[in-house]
Structure 1
């Protein structure tokens, strides 16, 4: 979970800043989950839902198996513009690049495989939907993709009847096989 003001002046991950109130300790925010997918082997998914419930609360629900689990919520008091509704949603991968010793990080994104390797190799998000003002799920349209280091990390988006709106993303990291990105 990242909480920020659009990366302008504040931001933190998981519980490093106040706001999100966890109500279930079976899922650890920032922790690992299992089982995990295996390259070219069994693939496992989680479903994540974030939506506004009533006038006071944004909830986070995860589905790791057959049941939905309420993980926690953000009280409306911590928001300014999100108190009523969201104007955009973002899905994706992110790495932290502190430029240690003036070099790009060696952190991989997603599974560490590029998006064009597809299912059983690349990381992905699928069935991307938003909740409208009537509290109904709607398929996403006109997805915008962005990659800041395309030689190291990439993304593509697609649509199919089985997966709805989806995208593969990821990349291996900076290594001796790559030259320093600009």
Structure 2
């Protein structure tokens, strides 16, 4: 397990300007068209005390599908 922070080190609920984010997440389908990504059934957060995600799939905004991510990790302590 990693002990380092993820993104900015802030949890996702810190929001824009503080937490890391990825937006306009898309893939190209079999018809060669861009589609908003929907990963709702594919996410695994191994330790929510150290890291987390807040998602918005196909948001209908200029951000499309996006998520905020991050957390402080274990602060460099392996068995924390």
Q: Contact between 1:146 and 1:155, CA under 8 Å: does it hold in 2?
A: no
TM-score, with structure 2 as normaliser: 0.78
**Structure with more relative contact order (C-alpha pairs < 8 Å, separation 6 or more):** 2
Structure 2 unaligned blocks of 5 or more: none
User: How far apart, CA to CA, are the structure 2 residues paired with 1:160 and 1:123?
Assistant: 20
Runs of 4+ in 1 over 6 A off after TM superposition: none
Tell me the number of residue pairs that the alignment of Structure 1 and Structure 2 aligns. 75
How big is the shift at 1:152? 0.5
Alignment RMSD (CA, Å): 2.1
Q: How do residues 112-127 of structure 1 correspond to structure 2 at under 5 angstroms? A: 112-127=9-24
1:172 corresponds to: 72
2:36 corresponds to: 139
How big is the shift at 1:175? 3.2
Which structure has the highest strand share of the two?
1
TM-score, with structure 1 as normaliser: 0.37
Structure having the higher Rg: 1
Structure 1 unaligned blocks of 5 or more: 1-96, 98-104
User: How far apart, CA to CA, are the structure 2 residues paired with 1:173 and 1:125?
Assistant: 19
